């Protein structure tokens, strides 16, 4: 691909094109930063970091919520010739200490609220010498806004000396299968992977995206931060990820990445609104969504609607669907993406029916972000699309998905043996996922190689598919964990979504805390009906025979969920072993 070879060069080119356009903002324009201001602040921060001694070969840790300062600091570190990396804000001190030791960083940039964690981590050992705060300067820290500039730092020479194969960032894996591994990703890795969005249509200064997922996750860096540097799209930061759906009407993004839980909650909110609507509006909405479903299914199958069906869809869109998209703030989306975990088919089809082009993709940190993705021109429901530009996809003898291309990581930091286990001598990344490729080249992920359920009778099943069936049919459900490996039948641990539970309780006149409502016969009966509905979409051997409604809430970044809401299956099974055993 033509264009800048590093993200530093990309930023300098982009900032010079339209210096007075808005580059970064917060909801409601509380903070607005133009490209001119962005470039000035990057230079100032880089000079301050250089004054501390930060330069080529160094790493700098960032522990920040989604706020403009992340973009300023990350880009400034790059312009010093150093490597910035983000850590999850929920990380305990022991994990932070491990990451700081692995990364060899001696500078941490954070917010005051994370100082206790950072200081505890530093107290465990390591090389950290300076803690810089972006929102003040408590005792023992430095203020980002008043770092003394280096007198002899050649800013231009520093960023121009950055090479395409230099490490752009380190992304730590979620550690579901052991200690987190530091994935080293280069400028080339991310620029190569950006060809996906170029292929889907040109991006520019009129495009808008929302940064709300953790910047410690490759996907948020890729789809917001680095696309901003490359193409000039405007970023709105949302510090509280729970507020993202309400922020959409302020932003009206043209590019939006949602993890499955976001899409599930969006559908739940619409379902709840339709329940409260009058009979005429509800009937009209169901008719329009049904028309939209027929179009989505036809498109998925590669078929075309007839003239009458097209006219009917146009009418449904004009009368109902367009206004729903506008109410959601998703009426201007050109590319909607879903990743990090599988989206339930029912939820995906529902959103496509509304006319929101949700392109499900597949990837992992080790391949920068995306290995495959559906294109908006042909979204095949139930698949994760076709290979991204420049990516080869193959299946191993056991069905394991293999990826190869310029987007594959440089390696795991300080773990050459693990790197060799993951990327073979021919350059194939062994993903650990089992997949199938259909006649049209679309990839379908069956499950994680290590997470396949094999029951007592030797039947192989995907827990994720079963969990998605329950989630899609159960508005009250939060994260769900299916149990069944080496057991006679499948059971489920079902958590409750606090917001959905509150609405349900109000509607049914129930009172009490979450733990009390979890034991309510009314709640149990509602979930039982939903699980039976889910069972009808599953084969007999996959069906849930019994389940337990848990009083607990599993939060992202907790003992039971990764920050991107993947289940930590081993801790779940260990903690709830007595509950699980009681179901057998």
The reported pLDDT for the residue numbered 179 is: 74
pLDDT digits (tens, 9 = 90+) for 61-105: 999 999 999 999 999 999 999 999 999 998 889 889 999 999 999
Sorted by where each begins, the domain ranges of the chain are: 7-162+194-251, 260-448, 453-582
Q: What mean pLDDT is reported for the chain?
A: 93
Instruction: For residues 355-371, give the mean pLDDT.
Output: 94
The reply to whether the predicted model has a pTM over 0.75 is yes
What is the pLDDT at residue 447? 73
Could you read off the pLDDT of 301-349 as tens digits, one per residue? Answer: 999 899 999 999 999 999 999 999 999 999 999 989 998 778 889 999 9
| b/e 260-297 (16+ beta carbons within 10 angstroms → b) | bbbbbbbbbbbebeeeeeeeeeeeebeebbebbeebbe
Given a contact cutoff of 8 angstroms between Cβ atoms, the answer to whether 52 and 262 are in contact is no
Question: Which percentage of the chain shows pLDDT scores above 90?
Answer: 80
φ, ψ at 324 (rounded to 5°): -65, -45
Find, among 519, 23, 47, 477, the residue nearest to 261 by Cα: 477
Q: How far is CA 244 from the centre of its chain?
A: 13
At residue 176, does pLDDT exceed 70?
Answer: no
Left, alpha or beta for 458 (phi > 0: left; psi -120 to 50: alpha)? left
* 196-244 residue pLDDT tens: 888 877 899 999 999 999 999 999 999 999 999 999 999 999 999 989 9
The set of residues, in sequence order, having a beta carbon less than 8 Å from that of 357 and lying 6+ positions away, is 333, 334, 335, 336, 376, 379
- Note the pLDDT of residue 177: 56
Beta strands in 64-152 (DSSP E): 83-86, 107-110, 130-133, 142-143
Q: Which residue has the tokens 């909650």?
A: 265
Question: Is pLDDT larger for residue 35 or for residue 555?
Answer: 35
Q: What is the pLDDT of residues 507-530, one digit of tens each?
A: 999 999 999 999 999 999 999 999
Tell me what the mean pLDDT of segment 384-399 comes to.
95
Mean pLDDT in residue range 575-583:
94
In the structure encoding, which two tokens stand for residue 181, read together? 């591994």
Structure confidence at residue 537 as a pLDDT band (50, 70, 90): confident
Is 7-162+194-251's fold the same as 453-582's? no
Each residue of 114-145: pLDDT tens digit? 999 999 999 988 799 999 999 999 999 999 99
pLDDT in tens, 470-510: 998 999 999 999 999 889 999 999 999 999 999 999 999 99
262-279: pLDDT as tens digits: 898 899 889 888 888 889
Superfamily per CATH, domain 453-582? ANL, C-terminal domain (3.30.300.30)
7-162+194-251: which CATH topology?
Rossmann fold (3.40.50)
CATH architecture assigned to 260-448: 3-Layer(aba) Sandwich (3.40)
Residue 1 has pLDDT above 70, yes or no: no
Give residue 178's pLDDT: 63
Task: Choose the weakest-confidence range: 111-115, 147-151, 269-273, 429-433.
Answer: 269-273
Q: Is the model's pLDDT at 175 over the cut of 90?
A: no
DSSP helix/strand/coil, 291? helix
């Amino acid at each position: 691909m033509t264009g800048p070879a590093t993200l530093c060069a990309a930023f300098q080119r982009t900032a010079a094109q339209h210096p007075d356009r808005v580059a970064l903002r917060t909801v409601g324009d509380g903070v607005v930063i133009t490209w001119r201001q962005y470039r000035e602040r990057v230079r100032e921060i880089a000079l301050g970091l250089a004054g501390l001694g930060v330069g080529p070969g160094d790493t700098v840790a960032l522990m920040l919520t989604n706020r403009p300062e992340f973009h300023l600091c990350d880009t400034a570190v790059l312009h010093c010739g150093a490597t910035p990396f983000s850590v999850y804000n929920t990380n305990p001190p022991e994990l932070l200490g491990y990451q700081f030791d692995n990364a060899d960083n001696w500078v941490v940039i954070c917010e005051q609220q994370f100082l206790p964690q950072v200081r505890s981590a530093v107290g465990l050992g390591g090389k950290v010498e300076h803690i810089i705060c972006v929102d003040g300067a408590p005792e023992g820290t430095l203020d980002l806004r008043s770092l003394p500039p280096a007198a002899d730092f050649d800013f231009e020479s520093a960023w121009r000396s950055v090479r395409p194969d230099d490490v752009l960032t380190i992304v730590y894996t979620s550690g579901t299968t052991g200690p987190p591994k530091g994935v080293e990703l280069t400028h080339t890795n991310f620029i190569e992977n950006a060809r996906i969005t170029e292929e889907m249509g040109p991006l520019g200064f009129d495009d808008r995206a929302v940064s709300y997922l953790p910047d410690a996750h490759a996907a948020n860096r890729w789809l917001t931060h680095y696309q901003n540097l490359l193409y000039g799209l405007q970023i709105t930061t949302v510090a509280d990820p729970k507020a993202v759906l309400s922020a959409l009407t302020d932003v009206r993004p043209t590019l939006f990445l949602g993890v499955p839980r976001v899409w599930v909650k969006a559908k739940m909110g619409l379902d709840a609104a339709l329940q409260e609507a009058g009979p005429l509006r509800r009937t009209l909405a169901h008719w329009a969504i049904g028309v939209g479903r027929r179009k989505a299914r036809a498109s998925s199958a590669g078929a075309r609607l007839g003239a009458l069906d097209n006219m009917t869809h146009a009418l449904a869109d004009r009368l109902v669907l367009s206004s729903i998209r506008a109410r959601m703030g998703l009426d201007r989306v050109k590319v909607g993406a879903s990743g990090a975990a599988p989206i339930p088919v029912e939820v995906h089809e529902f959103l496509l029916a509304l006319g929101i082009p949700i392109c499900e993709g597949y990837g992992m940190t080790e391949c920068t972000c995306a290995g495959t993705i559906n294109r908006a021109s042909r979204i095949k429901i139930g698949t994760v699309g076709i290979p991204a530009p420049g990516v080869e996809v193959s299946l191993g003898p056991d069905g394991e998905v293999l990826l190869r291309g310029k987007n594959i990581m440089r390696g795991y930091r300080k773990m050459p043996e693990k790197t060799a286990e993951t990327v073979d001598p021919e350059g194939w990344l062994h993903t650990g996922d089992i997949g199938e490729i259909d006649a049209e080249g679309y990839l379908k992920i069956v499950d994680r190689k290590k997470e396949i359920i094999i029951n007592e009778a030797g039947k192989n099943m995907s827990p994720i598919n079963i969990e998605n069936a329950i989630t899609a049919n159960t508005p009250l459900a939060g994260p769900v964990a299916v149990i069944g490996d080496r057991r006679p039948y499948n059971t489920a641990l079902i958590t409750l979504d606090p917001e959905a539970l509150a609405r349900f309780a109000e509607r049914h006149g129930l009172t009490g805390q979450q733990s009390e409502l979890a034991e309510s016969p009314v709640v149990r009966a509602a979930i039982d009906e939903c699980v039976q509905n889910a069972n009808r979409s599953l084969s007999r051997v996959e069906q849930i025979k019994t389940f337990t409604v848990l009083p607990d809430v599993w939060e992202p970044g907790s003992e039971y969920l990764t920050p991107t809401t993947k289940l930590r299956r081993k801790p779940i099974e260990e903690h709830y072993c007595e509950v699980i055993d009681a179901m057998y």
